[in-house]
Structure 1
Amino acid sequence: MYGRCEACKDITLPVNMDPTTKNNIISWTEWTTRSTPVKKKLQNGTTTEIDMKTTTLEKKVATIEKLVELTKSELPRISTHLYNIWHQFTHLKQLKENLTQHDVVVHHDAVATWAHLQPVLGYITYNYPLAKNIHFLSDGPTSQYRNKVAFYLASTVPFMKGFKTVTWNFTEASHGKGAPDGVGGALKNLADRVVAYGTDIPNASALLENLAKHSSVRLFEVTEDNIAACGELIPPFLKSVPGTMKIHQIKLNIMSPQVVATEPGNIRFREVSCFCSHSCDCFSPKESVFTQRESEETIKVRAWVLVDYDGDLYPGTVTQIASGQYEVDTMSCAGDNRCYIPSIRFAGEKVQVGGPEAQPELSVQQPELSGAAQEPQLSHAVQEAQVQQPQ
């Protein structure tokens, strides 16, 4: 019910309105989301004002005709929401009913992060060595794993563990209750009973030890070091995936030409899930590549950079930054044995910060004259070149 196919694109809400009553005033209540300015304290001690969205139940007043118009305008969103609920539940159920010895499903709730998933993936690969395809099922909170960081980690971590195909499937908003909620509730009740019988639980290690004695659920401890190690996998700059809030499935395949294991960060995504084959094109999947690039804030004036000039990399220093372009003083070749250093403007994608070994210090060494004059030598250049002084 996206209104895109021949079956439903022209469907409208039939209305038979009485002309004598359509202008009558009526009232109703409606959930409304508004932005409210609030003050946030920063790490340096200062405060800044940000907009916080809050949803409240408000009373609305309008004519019957206006209410009908509002209802019609909301129908596309409502029908899409209802279709997503049905589609995701139906296809995820089919997925779990048709698993093979090479497939595994991980179903978890919003408290799980990639630091918590690492030991789970290790447990699966050790105990089920034939499993090569992993499917994650979850709801879709943006703060946890419906965002570019979670998508990037999904495109890297499972492949590091030996999996060949990865999908992450989100249930429709407000319809993500499942088995993990029951498991979490049972463990919380068990912890309450342990404390009620006089056992002290001062930390996470003690909690795990006591729960493991009385529960058959496999438990893992995740330390701060584990979380920090997972954070180190995330590059500093990631491009957002367009239409993130509409995505209900991301798919990664080490055997697919679109996703290569040696180049993490490539994903395919679509608005609803499909499992008919590993590389199907149902529901118009799209592709996204997380680019890792230095920002204008990272590259400063007078910084050493490498620039792409005619397919070759040359070292240079930034002299000016404006409108996403960089003016760089860089050595260029003007013929055999002739080099000069002009100021050239380069687009942002042609400028990169070099590593320590690629940050040259250009200097011309004064020759020691004895008899015939010797030519000056250029040190630390990308390629050795003779420098001819202009006449």
Structure 2
Amino acid sequence: MVWERDTKKVDTKEIKIIKKKTKRSDPRNLIIELENMLPKFLSHTSNIVNQYATIKCLKESLTTNEALVHMDFSENYSYKYSEEVQSMHFGGSRGQVSLHTAVVYLKNDSNATQSYSVCTASECTRHDAAAVWAHLNYLIKFVFNRSSQINRIHILTDSPTSQYRNKYIFYILTQLRNEFSDLNLVTWNYQEAGHGKGAPDGIGAVIKRTADYELKCHQDVGDFDAFVNIIRRNIKNVEMGIIQEHEIKLRELMLPKDIATFKGTMTVHQVIWAADSAYLEFRKQSCFECISVACKHGKHMRFFKIYNTPIGSTMENVKVIPENKRIKVLSDVTIRYANTDDPMLHDSTPSTSSLRSIRHSWANKCFINNYTKATDHEKEFLDFLKKCEDDDDDPLSD
């Protein structure tokens, strides 16, 4: 029995489905297929074991200037009423609240590791990078309010590319110090795919179960304010924060439109930002023994350039053709030339200047993929390049 992808026709559309199929094969083919699958399986297992062991070791060895933030989005909670009419079950009548849960680990005054439960709720149900940035800012503020000695933060999440593991999150890492000047080091650690459950999921379960219990006691949970009040009244050991929709939209405006993609994102399990470095370091597994240097345990992947501002990031990510991959753009251009002794350039009236259409080879030049998406700064830069090209195309312009 094997699981396979298949297509299913629904009306006029085809959709992709997963279904179980029975296959017959020779023993030799089965052995070959198993051998082909083993490297990927062993690599997957190695990531699972390393991430769990490394994070456990980090919790036990936290110092007073370090904090570990384990966070995850919980499934949205749907508003409910103790008594509902039938039409409430259909359409968009039932609203939702987004829940971002986290467990923060800090060292207390007696040098013992202490955990704090935090949940940030929002009427905006987005779970993209802009929403992550808004929720993360609240968590970092919570950390600094608990301890003024913190200057290193380690973040632990699961690894969905739509939420935590993408180029926008990598950029956000480089911008945190703009608001939190005490930060000297931030690491973002990813659990292996399919193995991301942890303590934050328990916080989400407790919050939802509490709201449902109040519902059984004829307490309506029909809007955002009612939900927050119920949680704050019944759960005292969970810090409840509120993220407004405008905060998420503000973060979205702060994200550059064209950020260079890191090749190998799906294999990244640790990203390190340091205040004294001009590069992000990407690793295929987490390692906290080699924080200040490139990992000596074979987990290092590569470095990636850091840009200080959104404008700098967008402008520096202009696509440049490498010298070893030079291309030639051939186009019909018109140039003016003066009289010359070269007989190949003479026409029927050699005493006068004339115009001739030739094939011109362009050297490598920077270009931006989409001019319509360019900002005002980028457009000024492109117009400047175009003016320079126009001047170069006319040799008699001087």
Fold similarity call, TM over 0.5: yes
Q: Is the 8 A contact 2:58 2:288 kept in 1?
A: yes
**For 1:63 and 1:284, how far apart are their aligned partners in 2?**
41
Question: Which residue of structure 2 aligns with residue 217 of structure 1?
Answer: 238
Question: Which residue of structure 1 aligns with residue 264 of structure 2?
Answer: 243
- Alignment: residue pair count: 288
1:56 Cα deviation (Å)?
3.1
Q: Does 1:77 align with 2:40?
A: yes
**For 1:35 and 1:295, how far apart are their aligned partners in 2?**
39
Q: Does 1:202 align with 2:228?
A: no
Q: Compared with structure 1, are the counterparts of its residues 276 and 31 closer, same or farther at alpha carbon in structure 2 (3 Å cutoff)?
A: same
RMSD: 4.0
Q: Does 1:349 align with 2:369?
A: no
Tell me, what secondary structure is at the counterpart of 1:105?
A: strand
**Residue identity matched to 2:61:** N
TM-score normalised by the chain length of structure 2? 0.62
Q: Is the 8 A contact 1:121 1:158 kept in 2?
A: no
> Which residue among 34, 51, 65 is the counterpart of 1:102?
65
**Residue identity matched to 2:67:** V
Question: Which residue of structure 2 aligns with residue 278 of structure 1?
Answer: 291
* Higher share in helix: 2
Q: Is the 8 A contact 1:325 1:348 kept in 2?
A: no
Question: Which residue of structure 2 aligns with residue 292 of structure 1?
Answer: 314
The superposition leaves residues 98-155 of structure 1 with CA deviations (integer Å, 9 ceiling, x where unpaired) of 1111100110124442221221111212232211111111111111111111221122
Identity of aligned residues (%): 27
1:349 Cα deviation (Å)?
1.9
Q: Is the 8 A contact 1:96 1:105 kept in 2?
A: yes
Question: Which residue of structure 2 aligns with residue 32 of structure 1?
Answer: 4
Tell me, what secondary structure is at the counterpart of 1:134?
A: strand
Question: Which residue of structure 1 aligns with residue 189 of structure 2?
Answer: 169
Tell me, what secondary structure is at the counterpart of 2:239?
A: coil
Tell me, what secondary structure is at the counterpart of 2:366?
A: helix
**For 1:94 and 1:120, how far apart are their aligned partners in 2?**
22
Q: Does 1:180 align with 2:200?
A: yes
Q: Is the 8 A contact 1:326 1:346 kept in 2?
A: no
Question: Which residue of structure 2 aligns with residue 370 of structure 1?
Answer: none
**For 1:178 and 1:219, how far apart are their aligned partners in 2?**
19
Q: Is the 8 A contact 2:158 2:164 kept in 1?
A: no
**For 1:326 and 1:117, how far apart are their aligned partners in 2?**
50
**For 2:9 and 2:178, how far apart are their aligned partners in 1?**
43
Question: Which residue of structure 2 aligns with residue 44 of structure 1?
Answer: none
TM-score normalised by the chain length of structure 1? 0.63
**For 2:223 and 2:330, how far apart are their aligned partners in 1?**
52
**Residue identity matched to 2:261:** S
Q: Is the 8 A contact 2:283 2:302 kept in 1?
A: yes
Q: Is the 8 A contact 2:328 2:362 kept in 1?
A: no
Q: Does 1:144 align with 2:163?
A: yes
**For 1:226 and 1:104, how far apart are their aligned partners in 2?**
24
The superposition leaves residues 42-91 of structure 1 with CA deviations (integer Å, 9 ceiling, x where unpaired) of xxxxx9x8x97644333222111100000000010111111111111000
Shifted more, 227-236 versus 109-118: the winner is 109-118
Gaps of 5+ in 1: 1-28, 40-46, 260-266, 297-322, 330-342, 363-380, 382-388
The superposition leaves residues 310-350 of structure 1 with CA deviations (integer Å, 9 ceiling, x where unpaired) of xxxxxxxxxxxxx89799x9xxxxxxxxxxxxx99564526
1:175 Cα deviation (Å)?
1.1
Gaps of 5+ in 2: 75-99, 101-131, 307-312, 319-326, 334-359, 389-395
Q: Is the 8 A contact 1:237 1:294 kept in 2?
A: no
Tell me, what secondary structure is at the counterpart of 2:24?
A: strand
Question: Which residue of structure 1 aligns with residue 344 of structure 2?
Answer: none
Q: Compared with structure 1, are the counterparts of its residues 345 and 390 closer, same or farther at alpha carbon in structure 2 (3 Å cutoff)?
A: closer
> Which residue among 139, 159, 176 is the counterpart of 1:157?
176
Q: Does 1:86 align with 2:57?
A: no
**For 1:360 and 1:85, how far apart are their aligned partners in 2?**
47
Q: Is the 8 A contact 1:326 1:348 kept in 2?
A: no
1:36 Cα deviation (Å)?
7.3
Tell me, what secondary structure is at the counterpart of 1:86?
A: helix
1:211 Cα deviation (Å)?
0.4
The superposition leaves residues 217-256 of structure 1 with CA deviations (integer Å, 9 ceiling, x where unpaired) of 0011112111101111210101111111111111111123
Tell me, what secondary structure is at the counterpart of 1:232?
A: helix
